[in-house]
Amino acid sequence: MTSNHKLSFWQMFNLSFGFFGVQIAYALQSANISRIFATLGADPHQLSFFWILPPLMGMIVQPLIGKWSDRTWTKMGRRKPYLLVGAIVAVLVMILLPNAGSLNLSTAYLFLGLNAAMWFGLFSLIFLDTSINVAMQPFKMMVGDMVTESQKAEAYSIQSFLCNAGSLVGYLFPIFFTWIGIANTAPEGTVPDSVIYSFYFGAAILIACVLYTFLKVKEMPPKEYAEFHGIVTDSASEPPKSEGLLKLLVKAPRTFWTVGLVQFFCWAAFLYMWTYTNGAIAHNCWDTTDVASAEYQAAGNWVGVLFAVQAVGSILWALVIPRFKNLKAAYMVSLLAGAVGFASVMFIHNQYLLFGSYFLIGFAWAAMLALPFTFLTNSLEGNPYMGSYLGLFNCTICLPQIVAAATGGAVISLVGGSQGAMLLLAGVFLVLGAISVTLVKTK
| Domain-wise residue ranges, the chain | 9-439
More confident residue, 349 or 221: 349
Question: What length does the chain have?
Answer: 443
pLDDT at 212: 94
Helical pair 354-379 and 116-146, crossing angle rounded to 10 deg:
50
Contact 7, 156 (CB under 8 A): no
pLDDT at 383: 65
Q: What is the dihedral of CA 422, 426, 431, 436, to 10 degrees?
A: 130
CB atoms within 10 A of CB 144: 23
What does the pLDDT look like over 320-341, one tens digit per residue?
A: 888 888 889 999 999 999 999 9
pLDDT at 435: 96
- CA–CA distance, 404 with 55 (Å, rounded to integer): 11
- CA–CA distance, 26 with 42 (Å, rounded to integer): 21
In sequence order, which residues have a C-beta less than 8 Å from that of residue 358 and are 6 or more positions away?
306, 307, 309, 310, 313, 341
Task: Provide the mean pLDDT of the chain.
Answer: 83
| pLDDT bucket at 235, cuts 50 / 70 / 90 | very low
| Least confident piece of the model among 6-15, 147-156, 255-264, 417-426 | 147-156
- CA–CA distance, 304 with 199 (Å, rounded to integer): 13
Concatenated DSSP letters of 69-98: HHT--BTTBSSHHHHHHHHHHHHHHHHHGG
- CA–CA distance, 295 with 283 (Å, rounded to integer): 10
* Amino acid in the structure at residue 247: K
**Is 155's pLDDT higher than 80?**
yes
**Closest alpha carbon to 77 in 388, 85, 127, 244:** 85
9-439 CATH, one of 2.40.40.20, 3.40.50.10680, 1.10.10.10, 1.20.1250.20: 1.20.1250.20
Q: Is 312 helix (H, G, I), strand (E, B) or coil?
A: helix
What does the pLDDT look like over 79-106, one tens digit per residue?
A: 888 888 889 988 988 888 887 766 665 5
pLDDT at 144: 77
Contact 264, 399 (CB under 8 A): yes
**Closest alpha carbon to 97 in 136, 55, 53:** 53
What does the pLDDT look like over 107-145, one tens digit per residue?
A: 555 555 566 777 777 778 788 878 887 888 788 888 878
Concatenated DSSP letters of 155-216: HHHHHHHHHHHHHHHHHHHHHHHHHTT--S--STTS--HHHHHHHHHHHHHHHHHHHHHHHH
| Least confident piece of the model among 141-155, 223-237, 254-268 | 223-237
- Bridge partners, 115 (sequence order): 109
- CA–CA distance, 338 with 322 (Å, rounded to integer): 18
Concatenated DSSP letters of 244-306: -HHHHHHT--HHHHHHHHHHHHHHHHHHHHHHHHHHHHHHHHH----TTSHHHHHHHHHHHHH
Report the pLDDT averaged over residues 401-425.
87
**Closest alpha carbon to 165 in 327, 16, 20, 360:** 20
More confident residue, 177 or 46: 177
Report the pLDDT averaged over residues 285-308.
85
Q: What is the 3-state secondary structure (H, E, C) of 26-62?
A: HHHHHHHHHHHHHHHCCCHHHHHHHCCHHHHHHHHHH
- pTM of the entire structure? 0.71
408-413 contacts: CB < 8 A, separation 24 or more?
Answer: 408/47, 408/48, 408/49, 408/51, 408/271, 408/272, 408/275, 409/45, 409/46, 409/48, 409/49, 412/44, 412/45, 412/48, 412/276, 413/45
In sequence order, which residues have a C-beta less than 8 Å from that of residue 307 and are 6 or more positions away?
27, 30, 31, 167, 171, 277, 358
pLDDT at 119: 76
